[in-house]
Amino acid sequence: MRYESQNSLLLVSSIFQSNSIEELAQLSEQVKDSFVRLVNEDANSHMVGSAMSVIGQSFKQRIIELGEEELGPAPIPYCFLALGSMARDEQLIVTDQDNAIILSNSFEKDKHDKYFAKLVNGCLMAWINVATHIAPVTSWPLTLSGV
């Protein structure tokens, strides 16, 4: 089991060192191998789900970082959340992605909507290129006080 843990950590490290969506897409091919190794080493379901969730969260975080590098810093504070199986540490290799973005109460549609629309749409397109299925819903922008 230690060998696969090291492989998973190496994959996570490589994800954070990636400089492009193309590099992330190449790394995503290793996710199935990590899953298979965990199963072959008799990892329990919690360990498999947790490892896959950490890998998925790493991809998601790096995609957002690359988006911010392209667009510049966010004009207001925000939080991008993983929901569903990833948030519960139950992710497997074939899964949809449920996400949310919480915007600061200082959000003003006229000033900030374009930035976050570009960030979210760019992240969705990148995630589709890198990983798996997304459940896109862009009609629910909420501020922290609106949650």
pLDDT digits (tens, 9 = 90+) for 32-60: 888 888 889 899 999 999 999 999 999 99
Closest Cα partner for 92 from 125, 132, 130, 127?
132
Q: Where are the domains of the chain?
A: 2-146
pTM tops 0.85, yes or no? no
Parallel, antiparallel, or unpaired: how do β-strands 142-143 and 96-103 relate?
parallel
pLDDT in tens, 65-106: 999 999 999 999 999 988 888 889 888 887 777 888 999 999
Give the rounded percent of residues in the chain with a pLDDT score beyond 70: 85
Residue 60 and residue 24 in contact, taking contact as beta carbons nearer than 8 Å:
no
Average pLDDT, the chain: 84
Q: For the chain, how big is the Rg over CA atoms in Å? A: 16
Residue 134, pLDDT score: 46
Angle, alpha carbons 126-66-116 (nearest 5°) = 75
Q: Which pLDDT score is estimated for 133?
A: 43
